[in-house]
Amino acid sequence: VVPLCQQCDGKERQRSIVLDANHFLDGDAQESQPSKRRGLAQESRHPPPGSSAASVPDTCDPDLENVSQGTSPSPTRSCSDVMRVEVERKFVCNSDVHEKLREIGAVCVGQCEFEDKYFDCPEHHLTLRDVWLRCRQGSWELKCPTQEDRQERGEQESHARSLLTRYREITSLPEIIAKVREVTGEECAGHGPSRMEDEGMRMEDVDECSLRGGALSWLNELHLVPFAVFSTKRCSFTLAEEGQQHGVRVDLDQADFGFCVGEIEVLLPDGGEMQPALEQIERTAQRLGLSGEKRVQGKMDAYLQRYCPEHYKKLLNAKIL
Ligand code: V4E
């Protein structure tokens, strides 16, 4: 076993999250809870054992403890908390990644663990429009395509096939609800009893996260039900660059269903200049020795492929994934 963050080795060994070394070898680790996990909306609406409450996060640096315990496990995020654009490139975590990060001067800024619960209506109207609604540690977040992406779609190679992704992130609940209504229009709401009522869904299935957003009002009205739940252990690094105001962030994620992925990301205020961010990510990828033009699966792709094959197939056909 090795600590998730090797920069903590020695210093913080007692408090590090200790993981199986194989988890970072090829991005597709052993299934840790094999039989229980399912597409929640279809088969079991209960989160799998072990994915319920996230544990208190460990950090590399005791001074960072408070940031890691917040609703966002993103210690260095500095853009407006309400609307921002996340530009990101995913990569396969191999066994060299920690060494590489050290060599290029990346600094570990914290480790944390969080649970994500994703929602959609049973017909998948949100995700089929590439809109992702989730509750992370009690906070609602919506990711949706940027204006540029909408324009470029159809003109170029599918956005989903590209290495770099950019999504607008909305974290204000009223704006999230408004956006979900706008996206789903009449499709999700107002067609008889909600799925929750229809299927005798119990309050425990929705949990306190949803209740904070008024589960029986907007979730119920819009027929939104959880379709995926998993937790992630994340180790975050920042990499400063000369002449750049903001560093790049690199996250190494290990999901509890046995899947690992790395992400290089830059956050921009909505409407911020995209090109410098794309170049910064590209330079970081080169410094990390990442090669290949192949798109790398994220946690959600992997989850849906394993546990919600019908939903996954629909998203592949729609070129969302
Ligand atoms: C599946 C998906 C989205 C939901 C998950 O977003 P992601 O950034 O992968 O999750 P995570 O946990 O790293 O969130 P963070 O902490 O960075 O906010 S949002 C967009 N998609 C679709 C998608 C796609 N088409 N292609 C790739 C490479 N990734 C995601």
pLDDT-based confidence at residue 307 (cuts at 50, 70, 90): very high
Average pLDDT, integer, range 227-240? 96
Residue 114 to residues 40, 70, 74, 164, 195, Cα–Cα distance (Å): 18, 10, 11, 24, 27
Q: What is the DSSP string of 5-27?
A: -GGGTTTTGGGSPEE-GGGGTSS
Selection from 8-22, 38-52, 141-155, 269-283 with the highest mean pLDDT:
269-283
Q: What angle do CA 306, 307, 312 make, to 5 degrees?
A: 75
Best mutation site among 93, 116, 171, 299 for ligand 1 pocket (most ligand atoms within 8 Å of CB): 299
Give the fold, CATH level 3, of 85-152+159-184+217-318.
Hypothetical Protein Pfu-838710-001 (2.40.320)
Q: Reduced to 3 states, what is the DSSP secondary structure of residue 111?
A: strand
Among protein residues, the one with the nearest Cα to ligand 1's atom 23 is 321
Q: For the chain, what percent of residues have pLDDT higher than 70?
A: 60
- Greater pLDDT, 120 or 270: 120
Q: Whose CA is nearest to atom 5 of ligand 1?
A: 300
Task: Say if ligand 1 is within 6 A of residue 227 CB.
Answer: no
CA distances from 247 to 6, 60, 109, 285 (A): 20, 18, 12, 14
Q: pLDDT at residue 90 above 60?
A: yes
Q: Which atom of ligand 1 is nearest to the CA of 159?
A: 25
pLDDT, tens digit, 9 for 90 and up, residues 254-267: 999 999 999 999 99
Sign of CA dihedral 229, 233, 237, 238: positive
**Confidence bin at 120 (pLDDT 50/70/90):** very high
Facing residues of 118 across strands? 134, 228
pLDDT for the residue numbered 150: 60
Q: Is pLDDT of 152 > 50?
A: yes
Distance CA 135, CA 209 (A): 7
Single-letter amino acid code for the residue at 271: G
Greater confidence, 72 or 137?
137
Q: How far is the CA of 20 from the centre of ligand 1 (A)?
A: 24
Find residue 260's DSSP bridge partners. 254
Give the pLDDT confidence score for residue 151 in this predicted structure: 59
| pLDDT above 80 for 10 | no
User: 186: pLDDT confidence band, cut at 50, 70 and 90?
Assistant: low
CB 175 within 8 A of CB 82: yes
261 alpha carbon – ligand 1 mean position (Å): 11
With bands split at pLDDT 50, 70 and 90, how would you rate the model's confidence at 272? confident
- Count CA atoms within 13 Å of residue 61 on its CB side: 10
Q: Which residue has the higher pLDDT, 82 or 102?
A: 102
Q: Is the CB of 259 under 6 A from ligand 1?
A: no
pLDDT at 217: 84
Mutate to test the pocket of ligand 1, among 72, 128, 133, 167 (most ligand atoms within 8 A of CB): 167
2's enclosing H/E stretch is strand 2-3
Amino acid at 114: F
At how many degrees (to 10) do helices 309-317 and 299-307 cross?
A: 120
One-letter identity of residue 98: H
φ, ψ at 201 (rounded to 5°): -65, 135
Residue-level pLDDT at 110: 94
What average pLDDT score do residues 22-29 get? 41
SS (H, E, C) 186-255: CCCCCCCCCHHHHCCCCHHHHHHHHHHCCHHHHHHHCCCEEEEEEEEEEEEEEECCCCCCCCEEEEEEEE
DSSP 29-87: ---SSTTT---TTTT--SPPTT-SSPPPPP-SSGGGHHHHTSS---TT--S-SSEEEEE
Identify the H or E element spanning 299.
helix 299-307
Q: For residue 60, name the pLDDT band (cuts at 50, 70, 90).
A: very low
Output the six-digit token pair for 130.
Answer: 């590439």
pLDDT at 13: 29
Q: Answer whether 300 contacts ligand 1 (Cβ < 6 A).
A: yes
Residue 6 has pLDDT above 70, yes or no: no
Which pLDDT band holds residue 75 (cuts at 50, 70, 90)?
A: very low
Tell me the percentage of the chain whose pLDDT exceeds 90: 46
Confidence band of 190 (pLDDT split at 50, 70, 90): low
User: Among 16-20, 105-109, 128-132, 242-246, which is the least confidently predicted range?
Assistant: 16-20
Q: Ligand 1 center to residue 299 CA distance, Å?
A: 7
pLDDT at 203 over 80: no
Neighbouring residues of 316: CB distance < 8 A, sequence distance ≥ 6:
none
Which DSSP letter does residue 109 get?
E
**Per-residue pLDDT at 201 exceeds 60:** no
The structure's pTM equals: 0.76
CA distance 102 to 144: 33
Q: Which residues contact 120 (CB under 8 A, 6 or more apart)?
A: 41, 126, 127, 133, 224, 225, 227
